[in-house]
């Protein structure tokens, strides 16, 4: 395992460099320090998710899954690691997200990988404003460049909503393809 770490870091650096060359979100810096923005998510959660089976094809077939999400702080809260494990009619899903805070830009990058291919996606970058997090990236999907929006909303001490959408027309229209609701298990960590 230790021998895999340099390769993962090289991949992450390459992805971040690629993203830096093609920004997919407004060049507006948030006004406050957001380094603790994800503290609300630390802990264990029951997750109910639904995903669109074939995004950007006109399909309206969704599959639903239930599982568990565990979120651990890293670097004193300036990063966190999210592990999602879910099952349902659509099969088994395992995902990992590394969220990293950039103190210079006061933004977060959301770096995601699925166990099905073990590859990091292009990070989505953004921040929270008025209790709503919006994160954007550009990635290739089925051979074409698309814009991806990830929204975190309806944050309470016991529940959170996550939504992902794709756009083929640079953000004029969006197709939602992933919706998840987390419900806290037990007490929030102190």
Q: What is the pLDDT of residue 156?
A: 94
Total domains in the fold of the chain: 1
% pLDDT > 90, the chain = 71
Q: What is the pLDDT of residue 3?
A: 41
Q: What is the pLDDT of residue 32?
A: 66
Where in the sequence is the domain holding 33, given as residue range(s)?
2-184
Structural domain includes residue 156: yes
**Residue range 109-156, pLDDT digits in tens:** 999 998 988 888 899 999 999 999 999 999 999 999 999 999 999 999
Residues in the chain: 190
Q: What is the pLDDT of residue 21?
A: 37
Q: What is the pLDDT of residue 26?
A: 38
Structural domain includes residue 134: yes
Using CA atoms, how far residue 54 sits from 48, 59, 61, 62, 96, in Å, is 19, 6, 8, 9, 21
Regions in the chain scoring below 50 on pLDDT: 1-30
Structural domain includes residue 190: no
In this structure, what CATH number is given to the domain that contains residue 166? 2.40.128.20
Structural domain includes residue 189: no
Structural domain includes residue 109: yes
Q: What is the pTM of this model?
A: 0.81
Q: What are phi and psi of 182, to 5 degrees?
A: -100, 135
């Amino acid at each position: 395992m230790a021998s895999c770490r340099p390769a993962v870091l090289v991949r992450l650096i390459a992805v971040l460099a690629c993203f830096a060359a093609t920004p997919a979100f407004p060049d507006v810096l948030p006004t406050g320090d957001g380094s603790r923005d994800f503290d609300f998510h630390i802990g264990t959660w029951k997750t109910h998710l639904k995903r669109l089976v074939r995004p950007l094809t006109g399909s309206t077939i969704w599959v639903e899954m239930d599982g568990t999400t565990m979120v651990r702080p890293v670097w004193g809260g300036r990063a966190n690691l999210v592990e999602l494990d879910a099952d349902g009619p659509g099969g088994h899903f395992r995902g990992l997200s590394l969220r990293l805070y950039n103190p210079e830009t006061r933004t977060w990058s959301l770096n995601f990988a699925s166990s099905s291919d073990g590859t990091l996606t292009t990070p989505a970058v953004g921040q929270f404003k008025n209790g709503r997090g919006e994160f954007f990236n550009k990635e290739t999907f089925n051979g074409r460049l698309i814009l991806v929006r990830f929204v975190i909303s309806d944050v309470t001490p016991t529940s959170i909503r996550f939504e992902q959408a794709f756009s083929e027309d640079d953000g004029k229209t969006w197709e939602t393809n992933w919706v998840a609701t987390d419900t806290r298990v037990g007490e929030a960590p102190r």
